[in-house]
């Protein structure tokens, strides 16, 4: 037995096994002793690891218990007495119930009979509401969770209401093992859980006290209602993502550990570009331990090419000089200079700049620290983009005890946000030559000298980069700006901004707004605005036009009402005295985009402003405020703050990269919320703006093609327009310094009341085709900001862009749903299928989790959405799903998606790979059985599995064999140094895969085994089983355990081998067998799963019974005959070409999908039902 270096613990640098050497008997005996010793060390290590895991689990359970006790203690009233005692009694009561539940489980058979009898008297439904808690305050998302069981019936529905307002249905069938343990007599108790999350619209449900009602109904008409008082406090509840525990968990997930830092130290040595970074740190009276931590944080950097330029501004405290000198003596990269006179923060920093020799400078305050990977990330970026002049990173704050908090995840470069405050902040890195050219730091702006520098640098370069990692820790201590102890900084802050506006030649006033800096621009000279109001609601027209005329102070504008001919006489009569109001005829079917375009055709202004008829300006300067931003070059469009009538935010800039492709930032928070550094109160560059109120130059609107009346007639009309403006190189600006009240979706609601529910059909698809890249990533609301700040749908979501293809003619829009994106069988087959289908169709892949296949999808330019809701709550994605022509669900786990898609009338192909596992689900879960009957086509990988599911068929089950593209080997990985036959076994190392069967077969060969070399490849899933097989093969020098290999190397090993052995106990149709046949390699396989449908014993391979080690040995002996090996290899290759090829697989699936639409076209009744 030998081990390849891929396995942990193998000797470093061990080469793949050689076939040239034939050790003597004594040498072989010595090697066996060493292997046994090594194996014993592995076993001992495994025992120690197991003990450590048990200790870790015990500690984790203890931590969770203490956390629960702490939470319970925090939740109890502070007043001593009766209520605290009542809480203790409740706790004791719940504990007694838990003991009672355990006792019931122990006598399950007898107790089940008793309870079924009792239920005939009490009624069948029982349940509980776990969340929310009684009197809990709820924000913009209401999450409801609980369980419901019955002794004799099946749960049909769970509806959620707030008072008399129906919110919707909850998702059923969630696993609740805790309820099963307590109620074993009830029907389907294991899957009795329900859950739902609802977005609270404050327009319809204002803040206040409500009764939550959860109404449950079974299939016999029995009903039960659970109630609970709650309080809606939209905007007042702190987001869960702001809890310290959440940030700690984020740090653990996203920042490198000790091993990761060690890897960085190795990787940085390979950087082709290794610039020196000079870190500038002026020092003055820094506390001793704080100063040491600051310097040590630099010394801990994983990138070593730095120098630390420390300038002591004549600190009177003697420890400062001593500490600085000690570090300078110990590390030559630490350079120290002491001044005779304190020159102030700017002067001292300029002295540090004069000391710098690096190509780049980084700014570090004397009481702050760098993350150990800070400079590594900076230089890593510079290797990818060496012309970058300015780099900034995310940051957080750190207490004196080392606790990190107050994270600041930042947008990518936003010139408008920089006008609001110094958001680039820490860590900032600049090209030294550029800073020196600008004259360094200016003492006139001390305490804001870094803000002044950033404003000047960004006037000279646009080579600016943001690294979305927390590279800087800002110390919170007395006297620090982090705790607000430098109030004078705000004055110099405004001064620096005023100077910048003068340099740039803007006609503007800089105002110290309480929440952010404000640059109050005057409207461009001679600017004339055409306000376009598309509406067919006379009441709304009069209200909107009246408010515009009454409120607007800026005089240079006109109002164009785009409306139906039947309303024009009334509008003209009403505003006959007002020459600024004109009407534009539009008598065609409702099309928001076309209406707006018609208005622009008649507009006289050099600016066009689109205004929904349910939006009301609240500020006389609203129009001039928005027009003023166009003094700046590069501004494409501007939108204001929009609020609901209850003064919560309806629009503070829109974002992409979220569920349903786009969303709204800070939605439903209070109008003047200071949340997250006053971001909603700051002028910002954004990815999207709302067309409810948006203004732009008319020539820009026309240059980008206006609204797209064909592809986005209503939904996503503003998305498409904004993305076109960004594509033209212009930016979108949100201003908080004027506000309109907006009801929202009034026109859309009217169309739906008229029965026009197809107004937005395919808009999601078009945006995916045209703007996949923009939808996948929002530079002004990056992933970290989205995770912590997007509250409308907080569940994890991530999109990977595909190729732009809106001009490509595609037949159908197909949604492929995978259960994960690993490189295992079912996900890999779906990826292969997608590559074929997208030749003629538009394909989008969705999965509840990511994985290595993301890279493959990126290479074939297929858009991929990672969204856990596609499996757990597909009903939440109804709008998205309904835009596709057909849904392909992969594996039995996607039964909820099958039912959702069928309810939406979508053709469904369900690709099921599971045999016994899936059959058990169908037998135990009626919903799975119903999905098997309702899906248009249920596809299995072989006739054997079709027969297994025959009782659940509805004339819709069929078999389609796998197919894989033929892949070419890139290299020979097994040398041919002798005439030994090379046998590979490729598969995860576990009992199911049967490596032990092959080991037994090798032993059964006796002396004949010396004619073979055996190689086992695969990841270890069952550690004990793996060690047992090492033990069993320890004295076999021709057995090699090579560990896990990348999927692309499977072909390399197959091409280098002579035979593939597949000795599994349970399989469907292993993809490695298909690959082996494609490579023309003989296969020895057990007759399980679909293998007998592919392998014909003795013709294109060998089949043996499961567990038949003697049969495997006999097959191996037969393959000693080279002519037979070649004959079987050719027959196997022919089988691949005829039955298992990529083209056959894709063609059969494509034909099947086509047949669904042909069937639908010839079935009017069914089509009507859909």
Structure tokens at 764: 């999601």
- Residue 987: which region, alpha, beta or left (left: phi > 0; alpha: psi -120 to 50)? left
Contact between 955 and 1029 (Cβ < 8 Å): no
What would the pLDDT profile of 1032-1074 be if each residue is shown by its tens digit? 998 898 999 998 888 778 899 999 999 999 999 988 889 999 9
What pLDDT is recorded for position 131?
A: 86
What pLDDT is recorded for position 218?
A: 83
Residue 192 and residue 130: Cα distance in Å, rounded? 13
End-to-end CA distance of the chain: give it in Å, rounded: 62
Residue 917 phi, psi dihedral angles, 5° rounding: -60, -50
Structure tokens at 933: 């009957």
Structure tokens at 558: 């006109």
Query: What stretch(es) of the chain map to CATH 3.90.550.10?
Result: 268-505, 521-665+677-776
Least confident of 420-424, 749-753, 1121-1125: 749-753
Structure tokens at 1046: 């990348």
Residue 380 and residue 360: Cα distance in Å, rounded? 14
Task: Using alpha carbons, list the distances in angstroms from residue 698 to 131, 407, 689, 753.
Answer: 52, 41, 17, 34
DSSP 484: T
What would the pLDDT profile of 660-716 be if each residue is shown by its tens digit? 999 999 998 889 999 999 999 999 999 999 999 999 999 999 999 999 999 999 999
Asked whether the predicted pLDDT for residue 1165 surpasses 90, the reply is no
Neighbours of 271 (CB within 10 A): 15
Residue holding tokens 């757990």?
872
Asked whether the predicted pLDDT for residue 343 surpasses 80, the reply is yes
Structure tokens at 938: 């249920």
Residue holding tokens 């053709």?
907
Q: Going by C-beta distance under 8 Å and a sequence separation of 6 or more, which residues neighbour residue 354?
A: none
CATH number corresponding to 521-665+677-776: 3.90.550.10
Half-sphere exposure of 404 (CA within 13 A, CB side): 20
Query: Is the backbone peptide bond immediately before 132 cis, with ω within 30 degrees of 0?
Result: yes
Structure tokens at 954: 């509805």
DSSP for 80-113, written as a single string = -SHHHHHHHHHHHHHHHHHHHHHHHHHTHHHHHH
Least confident of 266-280, 402-416, 487-501: 487-501
Asked whether the predicted pLDDT for residue 236 surpasses 80, the reply is no
Residue holding tokens 């999350």?
197
Neighbours of 573 (CB within 10 A): 8
Q: Going by C-beta distance under 8 Å and a sequence separation of 6 or more, which residues neighbour residue 631?
A: 506, 507, 508, 521, 522, 524
DSSP 1049: G
Q: Going by C-beta distance under 8 Å and a sequence separation of 6 or more, which residues neighbour residue 754?
A: none
Asked whether the predicted pLDDT for residue 534 surpasses 80, the reply is yes
Smallest CA-to-CA distance from 592 within 533, 638, 544, 637 is with: 533
Asked whether the predicted pLDDT for residue 171 surpasses 90, the reply is no
Asked whether the predicted pLDDT for residue 752 surpasses 50, the reply is no
Q: Going by C-beta distance under 8 Å and a sequence separation of 6 or more, which residues neighbour residue 860?
A: 834, 835, 838
Q: Going by C-beta distance under 8 Å and a sequence separation of 6 or more, which residues neighbour residue 1082?
A: 1058, 1059, 1060, 1076, 1101, 1102, 1119, 1125, 1128, 1129, 1132
Residue 109 and residue 118: Cα distance in Å, rounded? 15
DSSP for 675-742, written as a single string = HHHHGGGS-EEESB--TTEEEEEHHHHHHTTSS-TTT-SSTTHHHHHHHHHHHTT-EEEEEEEEEEEE
DSSP for 475-538, written as a single string = E--TT-GGGT--THHHHHHHHHHHHHHHHHT--EEEEE-SSSEEEEEPPPTT--EEEEEE---H
What pLDDT is recorded for position 753?
A: 46
Residue 1162 and residue 1157: Cα distance in Å, rounded? 9
Contact between 670 and 647 (Cβ < 8 Å): yes
What average pLDDT does range 1074-1085 have in this prediction?
95
What would the pLDDT profile of 785-817 be if each residue is shown by its tens digit? 999 999 888 888 999 999 888 777 789 999 999
Q: Going by C-beta distance under 8 Å and a sequence separation of 6 or more, which residues neighbour residue 1088?
A: 1064, 1065, 1066, 1067, 1106
What average pLDDT does range 491-512 have in this prediction?
96
Q: Going by C-beta distance under 8 Å and a sequence separation of 6 or more, which residues neighbour residue 893?
A: 819, 871
Structure tokens at 1102: 């060998």
What would the pLDDT profile of 143-170 be if each residue is shown by its tens digit? 888 988 876 677 888 999 999 888 888 8
Q: Which CATH class is domain 120-237?
A: mainly beta
pLDDT band at 114 (very low <50, low <70, confident <90, very high): very low
Is residue 76 exposed (0-12), middle (13-18) or buried (19+ Cβ within 10 Å)?
middle
Q: Are strands 171-174 and 886-890 parallel, antiparallel or unpaired?
A: unpaired
Structure tokens at 1108: 């038949």
Superfamily of domain covering 965-1140: Glycogen Phosphorylase B; (3.40.50.2000)
Query: What stretch(es) of the chain map to CATH 2.60.40.650?
Result: 120-237
What would the pLDDT profile of 829-846 be if each residue is shown by its tens digit? 999 999 999 999 999 999
Smallest CA-to-CA distance from 706 within 691, 684, 687 is with: 691
Residue 884 and residue 1098: Cα distance in Å, rounded? 47
What would the pLDDT profile of 1-41 be if each residue is shown by its tens digit? 555 434 433 333 334 554 445 566 777 677 677 777 767 77
Residue 152 and residue 225: Cα distance in Å, rounded? 18
Contact between 309 and 355 (Cβ < 8 Å): yes
Is residue 394 exposed (0-12), middle (13-18) or buried (19+ Cβ within 10 Å)?
buried
Strand ranges (DSSP E) for 241-338? 277-283, 306-312, 334-338
Distance of CA 186 to the CA centre of its chain: 38
pLDDT > 90: what percent of the chain? 69
SS3 1037: coil
Structure tokens at 1122: 């080279």
Query: What stretch(es) of the chain map to CATH 3.40.50.2000?
Result: 795-959, 965-1140
- Residue 666: which region, alpha, beta or left (left: phi > 0; alpha: psi -120 to 50)? left
Q: Could you tell me the sign of the dihedral formed by the alpha carbons of 517, 726, 601, 574, in that order?
A: negative
Neighbours of 278 (CB within 10 A): 23
pLDDT band at 213 (very low <50, low <70, confident <90, very high): very high
Residue 930 and residue 922: Cα distance in Å, rounded? 9
Four-CA torsion 837, 840, 842, 847, nearest 10 degrees: 0
DSSP for 593-626, written as a single string = HHHHHHHHHH--SSEEEEE-TTEEE--TTHHHHH
Smallest CA-to-CA distance from 832 within 897, 770, 911 is with: 911
Residue 681 and residue 672: Cα distance in Å, rounded? 7
pLDDT band at 275 (very low <50, low <70, confident <90, very high): very high
Four-CA torsion 820, 822, 823, 827, nearest 10 degrees: 0
**What is the length of the chain?**
1170
Residue 797 and residue 1159: Cα distance in Å, rounded? 36
What would the pLDDT profile of 555-586 be if each residue is shown by its tens digit? 999 999 999 999 999 999 999 999 999 999 99
pLDDT > 70: what percent of the chain? 86
Residue 1007 phi, psi dihedral angles, 5° rounding: -65, -20
Asked whether the predicted pLDDT for residue 279 surpasses 70, the reply is yes
pLDDT band at 64 (very low <50, low <70, confident <90, very high): low
Q: Are strands 306-312 and 277-283 parallel, antiparallel or unpaired?
A: parallel
What would the pLDDT profile of 866-924 be if each residue is shown by its tens digit? 999 999 889 889 999 999 999 999 999 999 999 999 999 999 999 999 888 889 999 98
More confident residue, 113 or 437: 437
What would the pLDDT profile of 176-188 be if each residue is shown by its tens digit? 767 776 766 555 5
Average pLDDT, the chain: 87
Least confident of 71-80, 219-228, 356-365: 71-80
Contact between 145 and 192 (Cβ < 8 Å): no
> For the domain with range 795-959, which CATH number is right: 3.20.20.100, 3.40.50.2000, 3.90.180.10, 3.40.600.10?
3.40.50.2000
Structure tokens at 545: 């036009």
Least confident of 386-390, 513-517, 678-682, 754-758: 754-758
Question: Any idea which architecture 268-505 has in CATH?
Answer: Alpha-Beta Complex (3.90)
- Residue 1059: which region, alpha, beta or left (left: phi > 0; alpha: psi -120 to 50)? beta
Residue 46 and residue 826: Cα distance in Å, rounded? 32
Residue 183 and residue 147: Cα distance in Å, rounded? 12
What pLDDT is recorded for position 221?
A: 80
What would the pLDDT profile of 68-94 be if each residue is shown by its tens digit? 555 555 444 444 334 444 454 455 555
Q: Going by C-beta distance under 8 Å and a sequence separation of 6 or more, which residues neighbour residue 612?
A: 533, 544, 691, 692, 693, 742, 746, 747
């Amino acid at each position: 037995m030998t081990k390849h270096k891929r396995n942990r613990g193998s000797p470093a640098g061990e080469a793949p096994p050689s076939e040239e050497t034939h050790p003597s008997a004594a040498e072989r005996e010595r090697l066996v002793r060493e292997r046994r010793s090594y194996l014993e060390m592995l076993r001992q290590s495994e025992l120690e690891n197991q003990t450590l895991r048990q200790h870790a689990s015990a500690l984790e359970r203890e931590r969770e218990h203490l956390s629960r006790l702490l939470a319970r203690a925090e939740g109890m009233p502070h007043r001593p007495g009766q209520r605290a005692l009542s809480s203790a009694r409740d706790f004791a009561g719940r504990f007694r119930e838990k003991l009672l539940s355990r006792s019931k489980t122990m006598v399950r058979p007898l107790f089940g009979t008793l309870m079924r009898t009792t239920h005939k008297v009490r009624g069948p439904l029982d349940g509980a509401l776990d969340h929310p808690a009684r009197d809990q305050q709820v924000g913009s998302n209401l999450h409801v969770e609980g369980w419901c069981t019955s002794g004799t019936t099946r749960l049909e529905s769970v509806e959620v209401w707030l008072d008399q307002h129906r919110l919707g249905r909850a998702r059923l069938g969630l696993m609740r093992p805790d309820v099963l343990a307590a109620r074993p007599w009830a029907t389907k108790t294991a899957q009795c859980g329900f859950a739902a999350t609802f977005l609270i619209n404050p327009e319809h449900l204002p803040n206040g006290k409500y009764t939550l009602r959860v109404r449950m109904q079974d299939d016999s008409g029995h009903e039960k209602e659970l109630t609970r008082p709650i309080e809606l406090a939209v905007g007042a509840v702190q987001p869960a993502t702001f809890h310290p525990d959440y940030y700690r968990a984020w740090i653990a997930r996203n920042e490198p550990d000790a091993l990761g830092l060690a890897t960085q130290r190795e990787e940085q040595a390979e950087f082709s570009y290794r610039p020196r970074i000079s870190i500038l740190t002026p020092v003055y009276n820094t506390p001793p331990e704080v100063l040491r931590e600051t310097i040590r944080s630099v010394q801990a950097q994983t990138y070593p090419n730095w120098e630390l330029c420390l300038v002591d501004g004549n600190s009177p405290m003697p420890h400062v000089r001593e500490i600085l000198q000690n570090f300078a003596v110990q590390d030559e990269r630490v350079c120290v200079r002491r001044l005779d006179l304190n020159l102030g923060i700017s002067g001292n920093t300029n002295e540090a700049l004069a000391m710098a020799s690096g190509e780049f400078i980084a700014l570090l305050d004397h009481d702050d620290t760098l993350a150990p990977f800070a400079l590594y990330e900076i230089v890593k970026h510079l290797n990818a983009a060496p012309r970058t002049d300015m780099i900034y990173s995310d940051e957080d704050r750190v207490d004196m005890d080392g606790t990190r908090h107050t994270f600041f995840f930042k947008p990518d470069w936003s010139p408008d946000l920089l006008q609001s405050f110094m958001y680039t902040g820490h860590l900032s890195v600049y090209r030294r030559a550029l800073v020196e050219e600008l004259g360094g730091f200016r003492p006139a702006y001390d305490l804001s000298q870094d803000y002044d520098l950033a404003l000047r640098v960004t006037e000279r370069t646009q080579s600016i980069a943001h690294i979305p990692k927390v590279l800087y820790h800002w110390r919170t201590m007395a006297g620090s700006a982090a705790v607000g102890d430098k109030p004078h900084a705000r004055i110099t802050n405004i001064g620096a901004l005023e100077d910048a506006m003068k340099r740039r030649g803007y006609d503007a006033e800089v105002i110290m707004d309480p929440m952010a800096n404000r640059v109050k621009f005057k409207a461009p000279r001679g600017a004339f605005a055409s306000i376009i109001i598309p509406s067919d609601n006379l009441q709304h027209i009069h209200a909107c036009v009246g408010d515009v005329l009454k409120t607007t102070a800026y005089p240079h504008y006109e109002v164009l009402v785009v409306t139906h001919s039947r309303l024009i006489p009334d509008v003209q009569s009403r505003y006959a005295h007002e020459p600024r109001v004109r009407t534009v005829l539009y008598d065609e079917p409702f099309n928001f985009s076309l209406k707006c375009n018609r208005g622009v055709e008649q507009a006289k202004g050099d600016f066009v402003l689109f205004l929904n008829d349910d939006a009301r300006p609240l500020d006389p300067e609203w129009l001039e405020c928005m027009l003023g931003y166009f003094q700046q070059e590069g501004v494409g469009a501007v939108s204001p703050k929009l609020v609901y009538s209850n003064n919560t935010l309806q629009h503070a800039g829109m974002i992409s990269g979220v569920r349903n492709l786009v969303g709204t930032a800070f939605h439903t928070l209070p109008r003047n919320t200071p949340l997250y550094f006053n971001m909603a109160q700051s002028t910002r560059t954004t990815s999207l703006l709302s067309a409810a109120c948006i203004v732009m130059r008319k020539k820009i609107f026309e240059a980008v093609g206006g609204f797209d009346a064909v592809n986005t007639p209503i939904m996503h009309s503003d998305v498409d327009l904004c993305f076109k403006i960004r594509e033209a190189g212009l930016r979108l600006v949100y201003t908080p310094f004027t506000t309109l009240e907006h009801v929202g979706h009034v026109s859309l609601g009217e169309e739906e009341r008229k029965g026009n529910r197809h107004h937005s059909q395919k808009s999601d698809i078009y945006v995916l085709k045209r703007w996949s890249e923009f939808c996948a990533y929002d530079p002004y609301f990056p992933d970290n900001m989205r995770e912590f700040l997007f509250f409308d749908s907080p569940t994890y979501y991530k999109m990977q862009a595909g190729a732009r293809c809106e001009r490509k003619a595609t037949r159908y829009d197909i949604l492929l749903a995978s259960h994960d994106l690993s490189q295992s069988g079912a996900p890999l087959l779906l990826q292969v299928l997608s590559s074929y289908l997208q030749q003629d169709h538009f394909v989008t892949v969705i999965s509840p989790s990511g994985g290595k296949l993301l890279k493959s999808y990126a290479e074939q330019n297929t858009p991929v959405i990672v969204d856990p809701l596609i499996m757990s709550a597909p009903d939440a994605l109804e709008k998205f799903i309904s835009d596709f022509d057909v849904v392909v669900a992969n594996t039995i786990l996607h039964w909820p998606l099958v039912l959702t898609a069928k309810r939406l009338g979508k053709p469904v192909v369900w690709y099921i790979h599971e045999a016994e596992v899936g059959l058990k689900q169908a037998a135990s879960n009626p919903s799975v059985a119903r999905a098997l009957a309702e899906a248009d086509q249920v596809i299995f990988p072989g006739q054997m599995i079709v027969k297994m599911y025959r009782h659940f068929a509805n004339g819709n089950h069929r078999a389609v064999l796998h197919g894989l593209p033929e892949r070419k080997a890139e290299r020979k990985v097994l040398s041919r140094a002798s005439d030994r036959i090379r046998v590979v076994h490729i598969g995860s190392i576990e009992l199911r895969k049967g490596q032990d069967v092959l080991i037994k077969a090798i032993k059964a060969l006796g002396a004949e085994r010396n004619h073979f070399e055996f190689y086992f490849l695969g990841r270890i899933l069952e550690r004990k089983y793996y060690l047992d097989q090492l033990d069993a093969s320890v004295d076999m020098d021709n057995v090699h355990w090579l560990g896990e290999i990348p999927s692309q190397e499977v072909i390399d090993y197959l091409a280098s081998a002579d035979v593939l052995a597949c000795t599994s106990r349970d399989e469907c149709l292993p993809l490695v067998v298909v690959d082996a046949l494609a490579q023309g390699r003989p296969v020895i396989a057990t007759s399980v799963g679909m293998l007998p449908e592919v392998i014909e014993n003795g013709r294109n391979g060998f089949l043996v019974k499961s567990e038949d080690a003697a049969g495997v040995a006999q097959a191996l002996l037969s393959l000693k005959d080279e002519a037979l090996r070649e004959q079987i290899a050719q027959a196997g290759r022919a089988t691949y070409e005829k039955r298992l090829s990529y083209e056959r697989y894709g063609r059969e699936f494509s034909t099947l999908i086509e047949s669904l639409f042909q069937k639908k076209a010839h079935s009017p009744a069914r089509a009507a039902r859909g």
